[in-house]
Structure 1
């Protein structure tokens, strides 16, 4: 066949698989462009920062002025006590806590602010130092008192590799649940009809979710062994980590399978899932704190269950804190998993009726 004939043959292939090419050539590039578009700046200006009074003598006016000064480089969040503020720090509700002393209006008197940060958030270590310096100069300019800023750091020292291992584990679960599992189910599409003569399609899908979900312990252990070999002290098999990984897998595999059956086991479903994985990795704040780049990205991340999966996985691995501190995050993941399973069931019903 000559070249024009071969080109017409390829054009017919595109017409027969128009959905696949729309996803591959339009949707995935558009999603990738959208992800990069929310990175508005490289210096944090919207990071949530806790503000708390040092004692009962600190006035509401002093707290209000400090919150105004903090808005220069962050978004202030008020707390009633230092214990609540530190809990918010470990839950990654905020990434700094500023303790405000009293007597800020007394000229020449010493006023010692304390800025608390978490060593676990390794990418924020330098921005934390920069924020403390900005706070020192801003508050010294605004108050008559002689302002000084001291830094306090919580939890053990961590290196970037430890921090990224937790993020890498979550990213792997994204790919494993949303791409590998649907790929395995699609690979058996020719025998699914025969299997339905002896069992329900929902049961077949549930068996795959349970089987491949149980196998998630293997990569968890693998990451832990590599960490041990590198000399890191990570609680890789903590109950919080294992429960979070399991619920995240169920949620994402249910979503991936729902897309697969909604698109009637077509190849375009796999490409759609790949594009969604790229989006989740970019928007869930796996590495940088929420608000580090833009208010838009902060709002998106806080709306995604995968953001809370990242926090609880990282906390289970790297923080020596009670799992109950993240109980509401785990409930978010549980509710998301149940909702995902329901959507997957609806998608299977649609596929069965349209078959």
Structure 2
């Protein structure tokens, strides 16, 4: 049997399981999208801040002093220019940018520090106003000049519900990859033994991943309809969002399939997948950005590909940015997907030898 034959088999299987498919790909996305309205604002304790000079006349002592002063209540990082700092802001590497003037050490001089925040980062919008007040007071106390912090806001303001729509969409992808897809493999465990007589298990699994990847157009459409009805300004069907979701689904289903074949397609594999999914949802900082949590949890989230998938989906949907902004992060995500595909094939070989 070739890839086309397996693809037809998946289509007939889809028709037989239309009830479950409707629940997973229509009702669940709709409920997840509408459920974003239940979340409220919160205040982070340790804010990642980007620091850049306002112009070339700014001295190193000014930069070092502002960095040291903000380190007491934030996590400052230095950038070579305003443009570089604003790109980091778009990537959610930092949540604020401070532009340092050259007169912070002049006695009674008016030192105007510009603080830039992105209004599209909805959970941090209220916190940014609070941070501006703290910076204004603290820096004015620490420096000999009269410091004034001017708050500059960029980006179109989004509600928290809008901000959480990409989170809900990726949540559906994770559930589909770690719950429904492994169950499909478990349910067809007897079929795979017969497949080896005419073709290879790898071809059947590849067809299954490809077919279910195409089915993701259904939850994307549901989310788009919910967004339109709610008046949300989000772009679900831009090519960058679709590319990230497709890559994410492939590496997640590869992990799910890897677990199933290592467990020899037993029910234990389903439970293990649910456990892995729970860990991913708990540690990937899907709802609030990593800057809202402890340094340990932030480090864990930054090592998980699902966190970076979330940031890229959110940025491409809400900000309209291209994946070039996330290079080489997206390339690393594709590389990780390839590695998971290789490991999935190795697990199938293990399953074949074990049987």
**Cα RMSD, aligned residues only:** 1.2
**CA positional deviation for 1:45:** 3.5
Residue in structure 1 matched with residue 85 of structure 2 by the alignment: 85
Alpha-carbon separation, structure 2, partners of 1:196 and 1:47: 55
The range that moved more, 263-272 or 158-167, is 263-272
TM-score using structure 1 length: 0.86
Residue in structure 1 matched with residue 348 of structure 2 by the alignment: 348
Secondary structure in 2 matching 1:205: helix
Which portions of structure 1, spanning 4 or more consecutive aligned residues, are displaced by more than 3 angstroms? Answer: none
Residue in structure 1 matched with residue 203 of structure 2 by the alignment: 203
The superposition leaves residues 256-305 of structure 1 with CA deviations (integer Å, 9 ceiling, x where unpaired) of 10000101111121111111111111211112121311000111111111
Residue in structure 1 matched with residue 162 of structure 2 by the alignment: 162
Alpha-carbon separation, structure 1, partners of 2:45 and 2:78: 17
* Conserved? CA contact 2:95–2:117, under 8 Å: yes
Alpha-carbon separation, structure 2, partners of 1:140 and 1:292: 26
Residue in structure 2 matched with residue 265 of structure 1 by the alignment: 265
The superposition leaves residues 130-176 of structure 1 with CA deviations (integer Å, 9 ceiling, x where unpaired) of 21111111100111111111111111010011111110011111111
> How do residues 110-189 of structure 1 correspond to structure 2 at under 5 angstroms?
110-189=110-189
- Structure 2: gaps (5+ residues): 1-41
Alpha-carbon separation, structure 1, partners of 2:332 and 2:117: 26
* Conserved? CA contact 1:309–1:329, under 8 Å: no
Residue in structure 2 matched with residue 293 of structure 1 by the alignment: 293
Residue in structure 2 matched with residue 304 of structure 1 by the alignment: 304
- Structure 1: gaps (5+ residues): 1-41
**CA positional deviation for 1:43:** 5.0
Residue in structure 2 matched with residue 337 of structure 1 by the alignment: 337
Residue in structure 1 matched with residue 235 of structure 2 by the alignment: 235
The range that moved more, 320-329 or 177-186, is 320-329
Alpha-carbon separation, structure 2, partners of 1:322 and 1:102: 34
Alpha-carbon separation, structure 2, partners of 1:328 and 1:92: 15
Q: Does 1:219 align with 2:225?
A: no
Residue in structure 2 matched with residue 324 of structure 1 by the alignment: 324
Q: Count matched residues.
A: 314
* Conserved? CA contact 2:177–2:253, under 8 Å: yes
TM-score using structure 2 length: 0.86
